[in-house]
Amino acid sequence: MSGRICNPNSVVEAHQPLMLVDSHAHLQDVRFSKDLSLVMDRARLSGVDAVICISDRIESSHGAIRLATSFPEITASVGIHPHHADTWSGQTSFELQALASRPEVSAVGEIGLDHYWPGYDRDRQIQCFMEQALIAAKLNKPIVVHCRDAYETLIDLLSSDRTLPHHGVIHCFEGTANQADQLIGMGYYLGIGGSITYPSSHDLRDLVKTTGLERILIETDAPYLPPQIWRGYRNEPAFILDTLKILASSAGVSEIQAADQTRSNTADLFGLNQAFTQHACGKNPMTSISDRAEISLTAGSSAKYHAIDVIPEAGSKFMLGWDQLVGSARRMKSQNRNVILNMNEPALKKYKTRLADLAGLIDTLTIHMRDVDRLCCEQGQGWDSLTELTRECRQLIPDIIVEIPVGGKTGPATLKRLIEKRLKVRSMLADFRNEEQYMDDSIPAGTHNHEES
């Protein structure tokens, strides 16, 4: 092999793996009903090792508890959202207290006040909020507070009644700096999500710059409020990395520092320290480590999207950005795994200027060639382009393999000879004829239009 290869250990040391907590997600939402296991796989790849599953009514509270019993990285929060304050009753109060008493439940919420939408019942919302907050105080559990266009009322309620809990988080904070100071002074954390990435969120970024991260939690509010880069798609915990970047930049710290601080804050608030200690010792059951990992990046002919495929865990195809792919490779390499990157030809061409990001992180690059017949019919231009691409790859990655499709017009033996002679790389046969086609130019199934909560 020609070219110099970076020492992978030096790369890993310079890029420590992130460990994050999504402090607010609605994973029991129907939009996750068909692919939640894949969503959790993507969260793990992105460094998310715990998720607080938040509820908005009795039914979703049951759903959050079911997920908490199924996924060791999920803990539940139960409560009635102000949008559903009209369902509050003595029976509901009894049911909620029973649910909140369960060991899978770490908080009461999403509860609070919402004076944004016309027709709200102010008194009913206050009653629903106050009685749920008192249940949390009785059980010594924090509250997850929703507040929209009602910050002064909320602050008045919290400051005037000492029986209410003064430990909790103000989810998706959008108040003023003065209101933030008052709430932090009472003992509350501020939840910051994807909205900090929106171009118009100057005040929120300035607030983080001023207050720092000591009282900040990071959240997604999935499936709602995706970061700017994912607007138009269903939000999910894996997208928290895009929020982390802006949060860290606004606070003037590194992404690792921001991840560590917000993770510590969330652990302190929700009582998750023991689980995190287990994870630090490598004993967290959510983390399945094999000695081999495969990441696949594919792109359609117009490269409208790309996907990652983690073979050992789930064999699933899903969406992540290039930076997230690089981060996943770093984490896998830090776990001493042999990392194989699979790319089809369109993806390789799309990202050829960024391949240097992967230096020292990838042990083997496999290039999927599904249209080799076209190359054989061309007068050299296609081969010249691919030859240059593979030459650049060999300078960064020690082992290159080109997969040759079976069933084309050109015989496999001829293809193998041409590939190895022209590209000077290894080759192998692959039968794509019965494989699901995923080199599609459309938006992948399972994504949804942007919706705010």
Instruction: Give the per-residue pLDDT at 372.
Output: 57
Whether residues 364 and 426 share a domain: the answer is: yes
What CATH code is carried by the domain that includes residue 136?
A: 3.20.20.140
Which candidate, 258, 260, 310, places its Cα nearest to that of 288? 310
CB 54 within 8 A of CB 77: yes
Q: Which two tokens stand for residue 281?
A: 């010792």
Q: Which residue has tokens 């509901």?
A: 92
121 and 166 part of one domain: yes
Q: Given the DSSP bridges, would you call strands 48-54 and 426-430 parallel, antiparallel or unpaired?
A: unpaired
Same domain, 315 and 374: yes
Note whether residue 253 is domain-resident: yes
Q: Which helix (H) or strand (E) holds 48?
A: strand 48-54
* Spatial CA neighbour of 291 closest among 193, 363, 380, 218: 363
3-state secondary structure of 176: coil
Domain for residue 450, yes or no?
no
Any domain includes 238: yes
Rounded CA-CA distance 342/309 in Å is: 9
Domain boundary (220, 254, 280) is at 280
Do 271 and 296 share a domain, yes or no?
no
Place of tokens 């929209």: 148
Per-residue pLDDT, 302: 31
Which residues are bridge partners to 209 per DSSP?
A: none
* Listed residues 280, 305, 338: the one ending a domain: 280
368 closest CA partner among 394, 343, 390: 343
pLDDT of residue 307: 37
Judge contact between 1 and 34, C-beta under 8 A.
no
Do 66 and 133 have their domain in common? Answer: yes
Question: What pLDDT, on a 0 to 100 scale, did the predictor assign at position 405?
Answer: 64
Residues 229 and 360 reside in one and the same domain: no
By residue count, the chain amounts to 453
> Does any domain span residue 269?
yes
Q: In 271-380, where does DSSP find H-type helix?
A: 273-280, 322-334, 345-350, 372-377
Q: In whole angstroms, what is the distance from residue 74 CA to residue 53 CA?
A: 7
Cα angle 293, 298, 300 (rounded to 5 degrees) comes to: 170
Q: Under a CB-based contact definition with an 8 Å cutoff, are residues 286 and 19 in contact?
A: no
pLDDT value of position 297: 55
Q: Determine, yes or no, domain membership for 448.
A: no
As a whole number of angstroms, the distance between CA 53 and CA 163 comes to: 26
- pTM above threshold 0.95: no
Question: Do residues 317 and 245 both lie within one domain?
Answer: no
User: Are 225 and 319 contained in the same domain?
Assistant: no
Residues with Cβ within 8 Å of residue 295, at least 6 apart in sequence? 308, 309, 310, 325, 328, 329, 332, 339, 340, 341, 342
The parent domain of residue 48 ranges over 8-280
Residues 257 and 378 in one domain: no
Same domain, 147 and 28: yes
Of 180, 179, 170, the C-alpha closest to 269 is 170
273 with 297, same domain? no
Residue-level pLDDT, tens digit, the chain, 453 residues = 333 222 223 222 223 457 899 999 999 999 999 889 889 888 887 889 899 999 999 999 999 999 999 998 999 999 999 999 999 999 999 999 999 999 999 999 999 999 998 888 999 999 999 999 999 999 999 999 999 999 999 999 999 988 888 899 999 999 999 999 999 999 999 999 999 999 999 999 999 999 999 999 999 999 999 999 888 889 999 999 999 999 999 999 999 899 999 999 999 999 885 444 234 333 333 333 233 455 555 444 332 223 344 332 333 334 456 777 787 777 777 766 677 787 777 777 777 888 888 888 888 888 876 555 555 555 555 567 777 778 888 888 888 887 766 555 656 666 677 777 777 777 666 544 433 332 222 222 232 333 334
451 is a domain residue: no
From the list 190, 178, 180, 91, the residue with the least C-alpha distance to 131 is: 91
Token look-up 């929703």 returns 146
- What six digits make up the tokens of 341? 């990157």
d(CA 445, CA 278): 36
Which residue shows structure tokens 């999927």? Answer: 368
Any domain includes 2: no
pLDDT of residue 398: 83
- Please give the tally of structural domains in the chain: 2
Nearest Cα residue to 367 out of 392, 348, 339: 348
308: helix, strand or coil: strand
Beta strands in 278-398 (DSSP E): 292-299, 306-310, 316-318, 338-344, 364-368
Residue 2 is inside which H or E element, if any? Answer: none
